[in-house]
């Protein structure tokens, strides 16, 4: 599952998004990710996501869902757990790494990261935590915490605890991609990029948006 707001005009552009849900389809012995649902929502709240998921349930009936992969939007996770209790949820490894990189920027470590080998090595040890088994991540971060002697690195580890280790919405089990065959929702991102490329210009955006989707679905 993925979402974008860049192709939308009013009233969706300020707070809404185009949400897409994809699934893997096997053909000729290969798996291909295919878009199944496009949905325009005017807000990104828990109730909005829940309304979309309930609508899907009413249309699909009783089907077996193995799991969902999505980025780390809190409202979507809460709504999905309520709509699909017991279904496995996994976060996107790319978005997880991106979030950690933003933490590095927020504590002012970017320039120092480029100049100091010791700090470069420290950050490089923080980034791959998601590739460990979930049961080993906390201990690994605690070992890094012992190495964090500067204020900035201590703040970085604190952010890691708050966002990824002690956050009940995103426990380590959902963002660890250890032995996962599918680790990102980048296929959905690429489709979103294709829609944006086809939706050039601001005039008559709704018409352009619909035309872009139809062109992609015809491929």
pLDDT score at 210: 57
- 32-57: per-residue pLDDT in tens? 878 888 888 888 899 999 999 999 88
Q: Supply φ then ψ for residue 180, to 5 degrees.
A: -85, 130
Token pair belonging to 14: 């300020």
Residues 6+ apart with CB under 8 A from 163: 99, 103, 170
Domains and their CATH numbers in the chain: 2-92+184-218 (3.30.420), 93-173 (no CATH)
pLDDT at residue 203 in the model: 45
**Low pLDDT (below 70) residues in the chain:** 5-14, 186-219
Single out the residue of 18, 43, 31 nearest to residue 216, CA to CA. Answer: 18
pLDDT in tens, 11-37: 655 677 888 888 888 878 888 878 888
């Amino acid at each position: 599952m993925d979402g974008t707001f860049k192709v939308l005009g009013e009233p969706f552009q300020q707070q809404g998004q185009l949400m897409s849900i994809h699934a893997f389809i096997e053909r000729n012995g290969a798996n291909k990710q295919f878009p199944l649902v496009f949905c325009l929502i005017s807000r990104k709240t828990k109730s909005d996501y829940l309304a979309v998921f309930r609508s899907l349930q009413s249309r699909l009936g009783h089907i077996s869902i193995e799991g969902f992969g999505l980025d780390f939007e809190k409202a979507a996770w809460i709504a999905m757990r309520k709509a699909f209790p017991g279904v496995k949820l996994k976060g996107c490894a790319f978005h997880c790494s991106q979030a950690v990189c933003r933490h590095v920027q927020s504590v002012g470590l970017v320039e120092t990261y480029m100049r100091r080998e010791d700090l470069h090595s420290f950050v490089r040890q923080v980034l791959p935590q998601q590739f460990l088994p979930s049961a080993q991540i906390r201990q690994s971060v605690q070992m890094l915490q012992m190495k964090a002697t500067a204020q900035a690195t201590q703040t970085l580890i604190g952010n890691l605890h708050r966002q990824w280790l002690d956050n009940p919405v995103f426990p380590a089990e959902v963002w660890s991609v250890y032995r996962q065959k599918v680790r990102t929702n980048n296929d959905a991102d690429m489709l979103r990029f294709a829609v944006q490329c086809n939706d050039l210009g601001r005039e008559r955006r709704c018409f352009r948006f619909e035309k872009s989707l139809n062109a992609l679905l015809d491929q």
